[in-house]
Chain A
Amino acid sequence: MKRREFVRHSAVGAAGMGLVGNADLLHGILVPSTLGRGISQDRDALAAAALNAARTAGADYADIRIATNRTQRASTRERIVSGVMDSETSGFGIRVLVDGTWGFAASRDVSLDEVARVARVAVAQGRANRAAQRRPVELAPLDWTGRGEWRSPIEIDPFTVPIEDKVALLLQANEAAMAVAGVAFANSNMAFLREEKFFASTDGVITDQTIYRAAGGVSVTAVAPDRSDFQSRSSNEIAPRGLGYEHILNSDLVGGATRWAEEAVQKLSAKPVQPGRYDLVLRPSHLWLTIHEAIAHPTELDRIMGFEANYAGTSFISSPEAFLGSFRYGPEIMNIQGERTTPTALSTVGWDDEGVQPDEYLIVKDGVLNDLQTTREQAPWLSEWYASQGRGVRSHGNSYGQSWDVTQFQRMPNVNLLPHPDRDVSEAELIDGVENGILIDGDGSFSIDQQRYNAQFGGQTFYEIKNGQVTGMLKDVAYQIRTPEFWNGMDLIGGPSTYELGGSFGDAKGQPAQSNAITHGCPTTRHRDITIINTGRRA
């Protein structure tokens, strides 16, 4: 995805740009969070009115999400503040099941009359859709019902930090980049989200969650003196997180800007790659995206069952029965975990968007496919597999809706490649075993087919490896893979000391396309005999 699309599709972007704020916050005075500020009514009363109206109209099941989203973005280019935008928006969405058929309706008008009206609209819609029903929806049972609260573990609420401090930091990063000879342009930005999400369902779950997200980044462009070439370097290794302003402070955008700028200039004179077969050493700042595309997406059960065939696609994993317990995804040292508990990861929450407490599970266990991502609607589809394993049927808690105005559906948890199970393999050891290879840092261009076989990935920087030594920078590099061969060609993975989190705000799926914020943890890895193409083509 191009950067522009990325930003447009990001959770923060989708939630709207701009804000309504508490004046005191803007002057840096620490005050308690303004929970539910945009909503004056009692959310319990609103939820009760909505769920009662839905039931009275004929719903067998109903849930409501009432949310207030606060976002702030600041962006700069060179010495200019190109945008400061702050937003606070509220609304609610009601989902119902009518005789096993879904209906959903939403409104920005958060009032007792409106929740009842919208509940009836959702039920009428479910009834209209029922005519074409072939298989009614059944929901997996809940392990837990009750009332709970959850908050992202932040240290500094980004909405209490003065805007002048934020733009000063960004402009300082641009200055650091432009101080490097040959650098013509530098952009930088920050984005923050606070989502206050209240959920209630007719199954007896009420949750109140406050979710924070923070992102910051710099992009530097160097132009050759004769204008025959231009090259960019983005700070993609600074992944967005479920954190507060401390994430920006800890990212050292100003210190990093000098290095990113130097690398952009270095790319102008880097050696174009010779196409061929190479071994690859992939850092977590790059590998997270390959995991995302070639493992996390194909193990989504709705996709496997054809529900996303018209856009996001299906999966090479089909049927589930033919693959679970037998398909060798990779070597025995490969374990893929799904979870929503890692502190600071973007999918981490207390409850998903249908009131399920997510569990931790192994999607790939000792190299073999072991489980798939599910919601309450989907978990029963795997009941035979779970029975054969002596496990009960329960949703993994992987339901999410990007905002109150769209229906929730299956979205990925934090999907991680676990480090080497036995020892702390270092990056030096991974490189040492390579005769002719490339080390890749940072994510770049990415594309994969609709069943997740054929993928092509670029990166931010590429370094040639010769006889176990990193020898110099390459450019115009992309690798092409077929998913099963790529992971089975992974002969060594790094240990815990190489493990890092990567991620993004902008993972699109569904129709209308919804954006999910994603984190993938992984170590550095080594892959044998991979096809490399040269992407530099002249007009």
Chain B
Amino acid sequence: MANFISREEAQRITERALSFSRADQARANLSSSETGNTRFAQNQLSTSGDATNATLTITSALGQRVASATTNIFTDDALRRVVETSEQLARLVPENEEYMGELGMQSYPASRPYFDSTGELAPERRAQAIAAVTEQAVARNLISTGFLIHEAASNAVATTAGLFAYGTNTGVNFTTTVRTADGTGSGWAGTSAHDFDDLDTRALGAIAVEKALRSQNPRAVEPGRWTVIMEPTTVGNMVNLMMNQLGARNADEGRSFFSRAGGGTKLGEQFVDGRVTIRSDPNDPRVFSTPFDGEGLPNKAMTWVENGMLRNLDYSRYWADKQGTQPTGFPSGWHMDGGDSTIDEMIRSTERGLLLTRFWYIRGVDPRTILFTGLTRDSTFLIENGEISHPVKNFRWNESPIFMLNNIEMMGAPVRISSGESSGLTNAVVVPPLKVRDFTFTSLSDAI
């Protein structure tokens, strides 16, 4: 059994802590995890780490005065001190009219995002999974680097109003970058999973090796507006940027792409291609997530975008109350529907375009249009007359997921990706590959 706090232990610690509370209302958030990771570089393991940690945060409210305190020690003395500290702070801060009070018992959707294969993963097994990549690289005289990280974790929320919620989850992420010894080619592959048994590092290594070899000695082609075939990782990176902007409050306040000129929001408007549908559901095995948020509010199944139309925005409890609607919750995982085209079919249908593997250093430029900048890396190919003709130099792009999702030509089957740039344990994201026209590249990069 992985070393995290069990339901019974969580109940005991949160009950004990709340028993010391003298506030009008209080909440305990207890999270614990056992994490392990192994890095490799130059075809050998470089560093690795195993850690266990747990933190308890107490939020105390005296009327509308609210403050929080955190500890990672759970002796009676420490629990008493963390509760007292939050109360002393709360006593001294002004009233917060947006504090909504603590929730009582809730019912949650079933969700089973825990797998023993990940929870019990030992360093030896990590080393074997990595050897499946380094061996292939060594055999082809290539240099492999990469990262495997896994976690088994529990989260609990308890309130003085009688709420207790507890959930466990596991996650694993594996990515590898394989480079040629002379530095003229670079390939990448990676994904994430809840279940370590879903991860095939040998197959991912083979993709990265193949791309490293094919991407050698790239030629420069002009930046500008290009038809692009986006592998799923790049699609997920872009759509994530839009998902992060779904806050209802900013939209209502006129400082979001989802604000409507003249007042109100874009709810109910079609704003992207009619084939775009994005949903989240804590109980969907493809995008399992914890069924409650930090306040203990249930994360319901939600449709955010349906047939290109904005169906929902993310309402906090306060903002929903103010606007006379229901809070939505915001599950960490999400899923975007796709189509039935394969990447090969997308390539064959393209007279002149680019195939994109991975994006890098994605940063906001203009929030009014969700415009971001970033670069391609680790294999970018020119497509001419329905075939990959040769590798090309990387580009800087300045583009928005909104423009991109309005320019869709073809869609493929959705797959789970490694959704964060640092290949950490991030939310479950399932997206299709896309063929998109008029993707904006603004300059060339010499980086390989």
Q: Which residues of A contact B (CB under 8 A)?
A: 1-2, 4, 16-21, 23, 26, 38, 80-91, 93, 101-109, 121-122, 124-125, 128-129, 131-135, 162-164, 167, 171, 184-185, 221, 223, 226-230, 232, 305-311, 313-314, 316, 318, 405-407, 409, 445-454, 456, 458, 476, 478, 480, 482, 508, 511-513, 531, 533, 535-539
Determine the chain A residues whose CB is within 8 A of the CB of B71 once the complex forms: 18-20, 38, 87-89
With known contacts A134-B43, A307-B145, A531-B443, A17–B57 Cβ distance under 8 A? yes
Determine the chain B residues whose CB is within 8 A of the CB of A511 once the complex forms: 37, 39, 147, 149, 422-424
Q: Is A454's CB under 8 angstroms from B445's CB?
A: yes
Complex Cα distance, B86 from A229, in Å, reads 40
Q: Is B49's CB under 8 angstroms from A406's CB?
A: yes
Complex Cα distance, B50 from A230, in Å, reads 46
Q: Is B446's CB under 8 angstroms from A311's CB?
A: no
Q: Is B92's CB under 8 angstroms from A163's CB?
A: yes
Measured between C-beta atoms, what is the minimum distance from A407 to chain B in Å? 5
With known contacts A26-B88, A128-B127, A162-B92, A18–B66 Cβ distance under 8 A? no
Complex Cα distance, B244 from A248, in Å, reads 31
Asked if B203 is an interface residue, CB under 8 A from chain A, the answer is no
Complex Cα distance, B134 from A530, in Å, reads 42
Asked if B255 is an interface residue, CB under 8 A from chain A, the answer is yes
Which of A124, A512, A513 has the largest count of B CB atoms less than 10 A from its CB?
Answer: A512
Determine the chain B residues whose CB is within 8 A of the CB of A447 once the complex forms: 361-363, 373-375, 396
Which of B89, B98, B145 has the largest count of A CB atoms less than 10 A from its CB?
Answer: B89
Asked if B198 is an interface residue, CB under 8 A from chain A, the answer is no
Complex Cα distance, B176 from A452, in Å, reads 20
| Identity of the chain A residue whose Cβ is nearest the Cβ of B130 in the assembled complex | A132
With known contacts A80-B98, A85-B68, A447-B362, A135–B44 Cβ distance under 8 A? yes
With known contacts A19-B85, A132-B45, A91–B422 Cβ distance under 8 A? no
Checking B39, B375, B423 against A449 with a beta-carbon cut-off of 8 angstroms, the contacting residue is B375
| Identity of the chain B residue whose Cβ is nearest the Cβ of A229 in the assembled complex | B368
Complex Cα distance, B81 from A26, in Å, reads 13
Determine the chain A residues whose CB is within 8 A of the CB of B40 once the complex forms: 132
**Which residues of chain B from 351 to 390 have any CB-CB distance to chain A below 8 Å in the complex?**
360-369, 371, 373-375, 377
Q: Is B41's CB under 8 angstroms from A409's CB?
A: no
Determine the chain A residues whose CB is within 8 A of the CB of B374 once the complex forms: 447
Measured between C-beta atoms, what is the minimum distance from A434 to chain B in Å? 23
Measured between C-beta atoms, what is the minimum distance from B177 to chain A in Å? 4
With known contacts A132-B131, A306-B41, A454-B443, A407–B92 Cβ distance under 8 A? no
Measured between C-beta atoms, what is the minimum distance from A149 to chain B in Å? 25
Complex Cα distance, B146 from A308, in Å, reads 9
Q: Is B398's CB under 8 angstroms from A535's CB?
A: yes
Checking A19, A80, A108 against B52 with a beta-carbon cut-off of 8 angstroms, the contacting residue is A108
Q: Is B51's CB under 8 angstroms from A107's CB?
A: yes
Which of A17, A86, A101 has the largest count of B CB atoms less than 10 A from its CB?
Answer: A86
Determine the chain A residues whose CB is within 8 A of the CB of B375 once the complex forms: 447, 449-450, 454
Q: Is A512's CB under 8 angstroms from B442's CB?
A: no
With known contacts A227-B259, A311-B423, A445-B364, A105–B49 Cβ distance under 8 A? yes
13 more CB-based (< 8 A) A-B contacts, given A107-B52, A447-B363:
A18-B69, A84-B89, A90-B72, A106-B49, A221-B255, A232-B367, A305-B42, A406-B49, A445-B365, A448-B361, A478-B365, A536-B366, A538-B369
Asked if B105 is an interface residue, CB under 8 A from chain A, the answer is no
With known contacts A171-B94, A478-B365, A310–B147 Cβ distance under 8 A? yes
Complex Cα distance, B181 from A405, in Å, reads 34
Determine the chain B residues whose CB is within 8 A of the CB of A90 once the complex forms: 72-73
14 contacts between A and B (CB under 8 A): A20-B71, A81-B66, A85-B69, A87-B57, A106-B50, A108-B53, A129-B48, A135-B42, A221-B255, A446-B363, A449-B394, A451-B448, A480-B396, A512-B147
Q: Which residues of B contact A (CB under 8 A)?
A: 35, 37-55, 57-58, 66-73, 78, 81-82, 84-86, 88-90, 92-94, 96-98, 122-124, 127, 130-131, 134, 143, 145-147, 149, 175-177, 179, 183, 186, 188, 244, 253-255, 257, 259-263, 360-369, 371, 373-375, 377, 394, 396, 398, 400, 402-403, 421-424, 442-448
Q: Is A83's CB under 8 angstroms from B422's CB?
A: no
Determine the chain A residues whose CB is within 8 A of the CB of B364 once the complex forms: 2, 445
| Identity of the chain B residue whose Cβ is nearest the Cβ of A122 in the assembled complex | B50
| Identity of the chain B residue whose Cβ is nearest the Cβ of A221 in the assembled complex | B255
Q: Is B360's CB under 8 angstroms from A450's CB?
A: yes
Which of A18, A131, A162, A512 has the largest count of B CB atoms less than 10 A from its CB?
Answer: A18
With known contacts A306-B143, A445-B365, A184–B254 Cβ distance under 8 A? yes
Q: Is B445's CB under 8 angstroms from A449's CB?
A: yes
Q: How many A-B residue pairs have CB under 8 A?
A: 327
Measured between C-beta atoms, what is the minimum distance from B190 to chain A in Å? 9
Determine the chain B residues whose CB is within 8 A of the CB of A533 once the complex forms: 398, 442
With known contacts A82-B98, A535-B365, A20–B423 Cβ distance under 8 A? no
Measured between C-beta atoms, what is the minimum distance from A460 to chain B in Å? 14
Q: Is B146's CB under 8 angstroms from A16's CB?
A: no
Q: Is B50's CB under 8 angstroms from A86's CB?
A: no
Determine the chain B residues whose CB is within 8 A of the CB of A17 once the complex forms: 57, 68, 70
Measured between C-beta atoms, what is the minimum distance from B36 to chain A in Å? 9
Which of A84, A135, A221, A538 has the largest count of B CB atoms less than 10 A from its CB?
Answer: A84
Q: Is A537's CB under 8 angstroms from B363's CB?
A: no
Q: Is B51's CB under 8 angstroms from A86's CB?
A: no
Complex Cα distance, B59 from A86, in Å, reads 10
With known contacts A88-B71, A227-B259, A409–B98 Cβ distance under 8 A? no
Q: Is B447's CB under 8 angstroms from A313's CB?
A: yes
Which of A85, A102, A129, A531 has the largest count of B CB atoms less than 10 A from its CB?
Answer: A129
Measured between C-beta atoms, what is the minimum distance from A226 to chain B in Å? 7
Determine the chain B residues whose CB is within 8 A of the CB of A223 once the complex forms: 253-255
Q: Is A21's CB under 8 angstroms from B262's CB?
A: no
Which 9 residue pairs spanning A and B have beta carbons closest together?
A: A18-B70, A451-B447, A454-B445, A87-B70, A449-B447, A513-B422, A511-B147, A106-B51, A84-B67
Complex Cα distance, B93 from A422, in Å, reads 52
Measured between C-beta atoms, what is the minimum distance from B54 to chain A in Å? 6
Measured between C-beta atoms, what is the minimum distance from B101 to chain A in Å? 16
Complex Cα distance, B88 from A162, in Å, reads 11
Complex Cα distance, B244 from A511, in Å, reads 23
Which of A409, A458, A537 has the largest count of B CB atoms less than 10 A from its CB?
Answer: A537
Q: Is A18's CB under 8 angstroms from B57's CB?
A: yes
Q: Is B262's CB under 8 angstroms from A316's CB?
A: no
Determine the chain B residues whose CB is within 8 A of the CB of A1 once the complex forms: 363
Determine the chain A residues whose CB is within 8 A of the CB of B47 once the complex forms: 102, 104, 407, 409
Determine the chain A residues whose CB is within 8 A of the CB of B69 once the complex forms: 18-21, 85-87
Determine the chain A residues whose CB is within 8 A of the CB of B51 once the complex forms: 93, 105-107, 405-406
| Identity of the chain B residue whose Cβ is nearest the Cβ of A69 in the assembled complex | B72
Complex Cα distance, B375 from A316, in Å, reads 16
Checking B68, B368, B442 against A83 with a beta-carbon cut-off of 8 angstroms, the contacting residue is B68
Q: Is A81's CB under 8 angstroms from B145's CB?
A: no
Determine the chain A residues whose CB is within 8 A of the CB of B176 once the complex forms: 310
Q: Is A449's CB under 8 angstroms from B361's CB?
A: yes
Q: Is B92's CB under 8 angstroms from A164's CB?
A: yes
Determine the chain A residues whose CB is within 8 A of the CB of B53 once the complex forms: 91, 106-108, 405
Complex Cα distance, B179 from A445, in Å, reads 29
Determine the chain B residues whose CB is within 8 A of the CB of A87 once the complex forms: 55, 57, 69-71
Checking B48, B49, B67 against A86 with a beta-carbon cut-off of 8 angstroms, the contacting residue is B67
Measured between C-beta atoms, what is the minimum distance from A39 to chain B in Å? 9
Determine the chain B residues whose CB is within 8 A of the CB of A407 once the complex forms: 47-49
Q: Is B254's CB under 8 angstroms from A91's CB?
A: no
Complex Cα distance, B222 from A120, in Å, reads 56
Determine the chain A residues whose CB is within 8 A of the CB of B43 once the complex forms: 132, 134
Measured between C-beta atoms, what is the minimum distance from A219 to chain B in Å? 11
With known contacts A132-B44, A306-B145, A539-B257, A454–B72 Cβ distance under 8 A? no
Which of A81, A406, A538 has the largest count of B CB atoms less than 10 A from its CB?
Answer: A81
Q: Is A512's CB under 8 angstroms from B68's CB?
A: no
Measured between C-beta atoms, what is the minimum distance from A313 to chain B in Å? 7
Determine the chain B residues whose CB is within 8 A of the CB of A307 once the complex forms: 41-42, 46, 145
